[in-house]
Structure formats: structure tokens, C-alpha cells
Amino acid sequence: MQAKHTADSILETARGFMASRILLCGAELDIFSLVVRESLTAEQIATVKKADLRAMTILLDALSALGFLVKTGGRYQTTPSAAELLNSEAPESILPMVLHMGAVWRNWSSITDIVLDKTKAGMKKGGALAEDNIKAFIGAMHVVASKMAPKVVAAINPGSARNLIDVGGASGSYTLAFLSAASEMKATIFDLPPVIEMARERIQAAGLAHRVNLVPGDFYRDELPAGHDLAILSAIIHQNSPEQNETLFGKMYRCLDPGGRIVIRDHVMSPDRTEPLEGALFAVNMLAGTAGGNTYTFEEIEAGLAAAGFTRIRQIQTMGMFSLVEGFKAHLSSVAGTQAVH
């Protein structure tokens, strides 16, 4: 059923960026961490942040109006519920994800020009993978993955798999969940060199360095290390064009032993590409941030995997960005049997 639009509902959507941009500004200035333990005046905050007093006062009042700060007697302090989530030192902080949204904001500001082909998108050009933003991006991915990874691994059910490769594995959130679920499993994380160093810190802190091989590389240019029976490609295919995905699927096919399984975690769109809404919006995010990325239907993912040689391809979970598609590399005996028939 189509929504009935009104002037108010349309204008509410058009103004939606305002509260978002105020929150992003507060996060970028790390206001919430500054006033989490004690309240400060606008003058004190402006002095610490080397900011204009008028501008800082207006921002602080808006953050208070939105409920992120409480203002009492001209002093500001982070509200208790926001303190748990927006303080950079809080264990459950989502500040890295909020900071990543700041990078996304900058890309989205160019969408009209991108559609009109007046400018080109690209995450390395001031977006998520730019040098100044990559730490926040990887931190943001960990914020999401740390809570969802155990559930995703349970849905995948690694079974008897013993040699995992986590391609584009970031700081190792999914690898850690797999190793926790399968005590005999060993893993390889393959990612860009600076990201591998972030993974090294997290893997060592978990006491699992003896079970993880950290391999720096670029899957756009390099082959993947071989000898694995399970490969996970988590939140990667949306940043690629169909041609890039097909090439990557080929590399993953070659890195798997016969009988090995690939699992893709990402949005899986309806055939007409309008559902789920989250996936359609994320496609625009890829328009803003990548040269050829998109969100894909199951049929498109299936075709790419099949072209790389995978069989028994099916969707095993439907859950937004945590949807799962699997495929298998044929056993040698199956290949030999097929060749014999022909």
C-alpha cells in the first residue's frame, strides 16, 4: 500500500537532515565525552574546543533540545542514556558509527551532481576509506558486528569447517565469533595493511593470535591465500560493481578447497529492487560513495557466483544487511564425474 503524502509529511522528510547534522557536529567535536562527568558552561566548552562562543552556545542549546545534553543553570552535561552510547570511552559507545555517518554525510551532499554526472563518487576521495576516516569506519563496522556476529555465525553454522578465510575482515569481529563457535577452527583475515594492524590489536587482546593468520593485501589486485574450507565475504559486495564482484568471486573460488563453502553477508534486494527500504537507501549510499557499488538481488548474486563456478547457491537468511547467501565449490569427485559424462 502506497503512503499518502501531505505537505507536512513531505516537509518533515525534507527537514530530516537538521537533527542529524546537529548530532554529527556534536560527535565530531566530541562534546559528549567532554561533559559526561561534569557539567560545563558554554564559555568553558568553547574555550576547550577553541570555538566561537555564539556558535557553540547555539549548538549546545540544540543538542539539549534534542535530548542529548541537559542544560541546568547555564551548564551542560551529557544525559545518562546518551553518555553510555556517545562517550568515546564507554564500552558500548557507538561514537565510531556516528563519526562514520559524518563521512557519509559529506558524500551524500553531492548526490544531485553525481546523478547529473557533474562529479564522481569515491570512498577514497574523502569518504569512508580516506586516510583520515578509515579508523572511524573500521570502528563503526566493529560497533555493528560485535553484537550481530554471533547470531550470523549461528545462522551460517560452520559445522565441520576448520579453515576460515575472512575476506575484507576488518578488525576481526566475525573471525572472533567463528573461532568462539568452533574451537578447532583456524582463520585467515585478509584486508588492507592498515586495517590488518587494527585487527592485530583486537586478535591479540582476545588471546587468539595463535589461531589467526593475518594477511595484508588488496583483493582488487591480489590473489587470496589458498587452503580454506569456508570463506566469508561480509558487507563487501555492495561496494563493488557486478564485474568487480564476479572477479572477486573467482578469487574466492580459487582460495577454497574442493567442497568448500562461500557465505556472503549483505543486503539482498527484491527482484524489482524497491524492497527492503533499508537496502534501497543503502544503494544510494553506494551511489554517493563508490564508483560502481550497489545493492543486489539474489538473482544477481547467484549469477555472479555461478559464473565463478559455485553451485548449490541459495539464500539462507533474510534480515536486511544481515541477509546470507551461500554457495559451494564442487568436490573433485563431482567434477570428475561430470567430465566423465561429457
Query: Is the omega angle on the peptide bond into residue 276 within 30 degrees of 0, that is, cis?
Result: yes
- The ranges assigned to domains in the chain are 7-93, 134-341
Which one-letter amino acid corresponds to residue 244?
A: Q
pLDDT in tens, 29-85: 999 999 999 999 999 999 999 999 999 999 999 999 999 999 999 999 999 999 989
Round to whole Å and give the CA distance between 264 and 266.
Answer: 6
pLDDT number for residue 127 = 47
Signed CA dihedral, 82, 148, 187, 279: sign only: negative
Round to whole Å and give the CA distance between 336 and 341.
Answer: 9
Distances in Å between the Cα of 325 and the Cα atoms of 255, 267, 301, 303 are 18, 10, 8, 12
Which residue spans within the chain are E strands per DSSP? 40-41, 69-72, 75-78, 163-167, 186-191, 212-216, 228-234, 256-266, 268-269, 296-297, 311-317, 323-328
Confidence of residue 11 (pLDDT cuts 50, 70, 90): very high
Per-residue pLDDT, averaged over 216-231, amounts to 98
pLDDT number for residue 129 = 52
Give domain 134-341's CATH number out of 1.10.1040.10, 3.40.50.970, 3.10.290.10, 3.40.50.150: 3.40.50.150
Strand arrangement of the beta sheet that strand 69-72 belongs to: 40-41, 75-78, 69-72
Number of Cβ within a 10 Å radius of residue 25: 15
Round to whole Å and give the CA distance between 177 and 304.
Answer: 27
Confidence of residue 264 (pLDDT cuts 50, 70, 90): very high
CA 62 to chain centre: 29
Cβ neighbors of 255 (< 8 A, separation 6 or more) are 165, 223, 224, 225, 226, 227, 228, 231
pLDDT tops 90 at residue 137: no
pLDDT tops 70 at residue 186: yes
pTM, whole model, 2 decimals? 0.88
What fold characterizes domain 7-93? Arc Repressor Mutant, subunit A (1.10.10)
CA 114 to chain centre: 22
Cβ neighbors of 130 (< 8 A, separation 6 or more) are 103, 123, 124
Confidence of residue 130 (pLDDT cuts 50, 70, 90): low
Which one-letter amino acid corresponds to residue 21?
A: R
pLDDT tops 60 at residue 125: no
Lowest mean pLDDT among 91-95, 150-154, 255-259: 91-95
Round to whole Å and give the CA distance between 160 and 21.
Answer: 47
Confidence of residue 90 (pLDDT cuts 50, 70, 90): confident
3-state secondary structure of 317: strand
Cβ neighbors of 53 (< 8 A, separation 6 or more) are 42, 43, 46
pLDDT number for residue 93 = 84
